[in-house]
Structure 1
Amino acid sequence: MNEKNSAAEKQARGKGARYIYEELKREILTLELEPGAPLDETTISHRFAMSRSPVREALVRLSGDGLVEMLSNRSTLVAPIDLVGFPRYVEALDYLQRINTRLAARNRTEADLAAMEAEAQAFDAACRENDYLAMSATNRDFHMSVAAAGKNPYLARSYERLLDEGRRMLHMHFDYIHSSSSDRLLSSDHYDIIEAIRARNAGEADKLAHEHTRQFHSRFMEFLHARYDNDFDFDVIAMAQQS
């Protein structure tokens, strides 16, 4: 009887940790929880009416995702967005995006192409709903479907970590594009990449992947400058401009 109770408690705690994880992740990715915001275990446990154990499990998982920082003094913060390191981030993203897309052009199957098309359509649907969280998720899923077609799990895992790390920046990127009268969220970029992969044209796939990354870089820098023009925090924008 005690063993059954223990198993039931463990299952309930696991579900609780998963729920807390999903809620906090959503709030971090949508910037409801701002970068650097403290995450107090006691406060969170009261909020969700759960013990501190599932809260701790959720925070450890978020730390593994790179979304929170667990400090040596046992305090936990929402991970900052490293604007100083943004150029190095884009450099790494560009390399991994290009190599995974090149490999996809060489190794793809018909099933891979179908998966890419489904993910591209899911991204378009999220854009029409103006759902930034779904947009960043489906954008990630599209690019990971490309990486899966490349058949190199080591490169795909590194790429996945960068895509996840950049989702908060992508959220700001989407917001800037949506508010701009001269730019559009919906484009043919994903479908152009698919067609190059379909044609097994590794050079064209590489070129399109590179252009896709540079477009993200340019738009994000435009966002930072636009925020600066609207009295954005000087120290933050100055760090970005050091690049």
Structure 2
Amino acid sequence: MTKQRAEIETNAAKKRGSGSKFVYETLRDEILELTLKPGSSVEESNLAERFGMSRSPIREALVKLAADGLVRTLANRTTIVTPIDLQEFPRFVEALDQVQRTVTRLAARHRTDEDLHAMEQAAALYDAECSAGRPLDLSEANKSFHMAIANAGKNPYFAEFYSKMLDEGRRILHMHYAHRRQSKDPFPLSPQHHEMVEAIRQQDEHRADRLAHDHSRLFHDRLLEFMSVEYIEDFDIETAD
């Protein structure tokens, strides 16, 4: 292989990778903020035409979205945005609660000064986003805070699973945030974030566990209050049967 040909192929690979990342990030945001409705089709040919790309970077982006649990390929090879099954919400919160308590206890056990700094910054960013009132950025800031805790626990297996759980919950959380913005209700600051950081700082595993559980219950109670029929219908989403 000549040097010129190698450079051409290297540049082409970089371009494909950049294109795949752009498609992935664009579709991920549209799925999380419900611009792409749960259950809606996301076909390679339509996306290739939309983004002006070949199918290769589109396919790469869809594979990554599938790994995140945000899209699903059916038996007939149709790819759809993963439906939201509201009937499974209590089971989702049950699983979220268990892993959230685990990573928070581990963070209290293993945290470093650098970890504490990352958590403090993430908690402050969440508070700042509450003032800004951008639902997608707010749910991203919330995830960043909780992942700072998970990373402090030094267990990548729990952290990876927790990340997927948080992403799955972000679509429901986004509906809650978006409704608050539409109704001009203030976004809630989370003093629990700062309390969790303090418990982790003191390496108080029992208190960290209790605060993580309380935080799960708060998420559950707020979303149950929100998920009344009139609110859900405002978003015109297709949910799983």
TM-score norm. by structure 1 comes to 0.88
Give 1:225 shift.
Answer: 1.4
Give 2:149's aligned residue.
Answer: 146
Q: Is the 8 A contact 1:193 1:208 kept in 2?
A: yes
1:50 aligns with 2:47: no
1:106 aligns with 2:120: no
Distance in 1 of aligned mates of 2:233 and 2:222: 17
Give 1:117 shift.
Answer: 0.2
Give 1:47 shift.
Answer: 1.1
Give 1:67 shift.
Answer: 0.5
Give 1:35's aligned residue.
Answer: 38
- Structure 1 unaligned blocks of 5 or more: none
Give 1:232 shift.
Answer: 8.4
C-alpha RMSD over aligned residues? 2.4
Counterpart amino acid of residue 21 in structure 2: R
Give 1:3 shift.
Answer: 3.4
Give 1:227's aligned residue.
Answer: 230
Partner secondary structure for residue 193 of structure 1:
helix
- Structure 2 unaligned blocks of 5 or more: none
Distance in 2 of aligned mates of 1:172 and 1:229: 8
Give 1:214's aligned residue.
Answer: 217
Q: Taking every aligned residue pair, what percent have the same amino acid on both sides?
A: 49
Counterpart amino acid of residue 47 in structure 2: I
What CA deviation, in whole Å up to 9, does each residue of 1:69-125 have, x standing for no partner?
122322110111121211111001001111111122222222211110000111112
Counterpart amino acid of residue 118 in structure 1: Q
Q: Is the 8 A contact 1:63 1:69 kept in 2?
A: yes
1:66 aligns with 2:64: no
Ranked by relative contact order (alpha carbons within 8 Å, sequence separation 6 or more), the top structure is 2
Q: Comparing 4-13 with 111-120, which one deviates more in the overlay?
A: 4-13
Give 1:207 shift.
Answer: 1.2
What is the aligned residue count? 237
> Kindly tell me: are residues 178 and 35 of structure 1, through their superposed partners in 2, closer, same or farther at Cα, counting changes over 3 Å?
same
